Amino acid sequence: MKSLLWLQTGSCGGDTMSILCADSPSLEELIDHFGIRILWQPSLSTESAASLERTIDAILADQLALDIFCVEGSIICGPNGSGMFDPYRGRAKMDWIRRLAEKAGVLVAIGTCAAFGGVHSAPPNPTDCLGLQFDKTTGGGLLADSWRSRLGLPVVNLAGCPTHPNTMTKTLAMLATGIPLELDHLNRPKLFFNTTVHQGCTRNEYHEYDVEDTSFGGNACMFFNLGCQGPMTMAVCNSELWNGRNSKTRAGVPCFGCTSPDFPLDRDLFLTEKIGPIPVNLPLGVERANYMAYKSLAHDAAPERVLNKKMDT
Ligand code: SF4
């Protein structure tokens, strides 16, 4: 059995809601088949608050092993670096997190807030929030860049707002069974962050021919006008559907780039910023000059079949 402690810091609890929808594996399978013993989870545990206190004290006194430590939410450092906007038992929660992290076999940042600061650290960041080991795109989180868990891992960043349910349960299953995790440059497991949201989107053919929606409710691509960040965002949303059936872009909502370290961007999420007719941000790795040439050719080549289907319901 591997013990798991889940604490919330500056959080809406959305990742907890998300993990309840996991189906591959499900939360129940994590417990029944992958040997995870949940010591505490804020929304799922039925034990008293006093029981959580005893659990934390036992971990800190080395009387109880902590194998997997999950933190959901931004680390709140205000006011003035005291962390007392978010206290627990009379001291800053960020101090408890720091002490428990020293005991953890592995520390998992659940959600973009815990990983990079997320929503609560958006400008003007009034509560001085940051992530566990990152502050947006760079180091400078609560823990030093050089920090490693008892098993020698940096904080494992499961980004998302919320994180995809199966990304959470698969990662936890791998950690519980000792399957090695390869991490990307932002310490996200490559297995779940090596594909763009754009890949697998049902609007791809429209993107290909530059057939674009200008208002919501159509079938076409939302990249040029409606703010879609799918081609710049690494996540499995369109290759492993949410609840096994849908994704944001399939439902007609642009990707907001919620797994990226700079999420949320300080701009309109439903509007594409452009230089002339071309978006400021282009698909990952694409050269602007090449892209402009390709797009004007592609638009001229768009078949009637695609143009006619744009507004089909
Ligand atoms: S809507 Fe977004 S994810 Fe879908 S094809 Fe267009 S740019 Fe890609």
pTM of the model: 0.95
Q: Which atom of ligand 1 is nearest to the CA of 283?
A: 7
Identify the structural domains of the chain with CATH numbers, from first to last: 2-192 (3.40.50.700), 195-313 (4.10.480.10)
Ligand 1, atom 8, residue with closest C-alpha: 198
Residue 307 has pLDDT above 80, yes or no: yes
Rg, C-alpha atoms of the chain: 21
Q: What is the pLDDT at residue 276? A: 83
For residues 288 and 65, the model is more confident at: 65
- Which pair of structure tokens corresponds to residue 215? 């208002």
Other beta carbons within 10 angstroms of residue 260's beta carbon come to 22
User: Using a 6 Å CB cutoff, which residues line ligand 1?
Assistant: 197-198, 201, 203-204, 207, 221-223, 228, 230-231, 249, 255
Please give the DSSP secondary-structure letter assigned to residue 2. Answer: E
Q: Which atom of ligand 1 is nearest to the CA of 206?
A: 5
Residue 309 has pLDDT above 80, yes or no: no
Q: What is the pLDDT at residue 292? A: 81
Could you give the percent of the chain with pLDDT greater than 90? 90
Other beta carbons within 10 angstroms of residue 305's beta carbon come to 9
Helix (H/G/I), strand (E/B), else coil: 230? helix
What is the CA(173)–ligand 1 centre distance, in A?
31
DSSP string, 126-137: TT-EE-SS-BTT
Q: What is the pLDDT at residue 25? A: 97
- For 1-15, 57-71, 241-255, 280-294, which range has the lowest pLDDT when averaged over its residues? 280-294
- Taking only the tens place, the pLDDT of each residue in 10-34 is 999 999 999 999 999 999 999 999 9
Interatomic CA distance for residues 49 and 206, integer angstroms: 53
- 162: closest CA among 87, 44, 98, 243? 243
Please give the DSSP secondary-structure letter assigned to residue 187. Answer: S
What is the CA(211)–ligand 1 centre distance, in A?
11
How many DSSP H helices and E strands does the chain contain? 9, 11
Q: Which atom of ligand 1 is nearest to the CA of 230?
A: 3
Band of pLDDT at residue 135, cut at 50, 70 and 90: very high
- 232: closest CA among 191, 272, 181, 276? 272
Q: Which atom of ligand 1 is nearest to the CA of 221?
A: 6
Q: What is the pLDDT at residue 289? A: 84
Residue 252 has pLDDT above 60, yes or no: yes
Residue 294 has pLDDT above 90, yes or no: no
The burial of 217, by beta-carbon neighbours within 10 Å (0-12 exposed, 13-18 middle, 19 or more buried), is given as exposed
Cβ atoms of 107 and 155 within 8 Å: the answer is yes
Could you give the percent of the chain with pLDDT greater than 70? 99
What is the CA(290)–ligand 1 centre distance, in A?
19
Band of pLDDT at residue 101, cut at 50, 70 and 90: very high
Our mutation pick for probing the ligand 1 site, out of 199, 223, 247, counting the most ligand atoms within 8 A of Cβ, is 223
Residue 313 has pLDDT above 70, yes or no: no
CA angle 233/171/182 to nearest 5° reads: 70
Q: What is the pLDDT at residue 9? A: 97
What is the CA(121)–ligand 1 centre distance, in A?
27
> E strands along 43-182, which residues?
66-72, 75-76, 87-88, 91-92, 104-110, 129-130, 156-158
Interatomic CA distance for residues 110 and 157, integer angstroms: 7
Band of pLDDT at residue 311, cut at 50, 70 and 90: low
Residue 312 has pLDDT above 80, yes or no: no
- Taking only the tens place, the pLDDT of each residue in 29-61 is 999 999 999 999 999 999 999 999 999 999 999
- Taking only the tens place, the pLDDT of each residue in 167-222 is 999 999 999 999 999 999 999 999 999 999 999 999 999 999 999 999 999 999 99
Residue 158 has pLDDT above 60, yes or no: yes
Our mutation pick for probing the ligand 1 site, out of 201, 216, 253, 278, counting the most ligand atoms within 8 A of Cβ, is 201
Other beta carbons within 10 angstroms of residue 113's beta carbon come to 33
Place of tokens 């078949």: 303
CA distances from 312 to 181, 229, 296, 307 (A): 43, 23, 24, 10
- Buried/exposed 9-44: b ≥16 CB within 10 Å, e otherwise: bbbbebbbebbebbeebbbeebbeebebebbbbeee
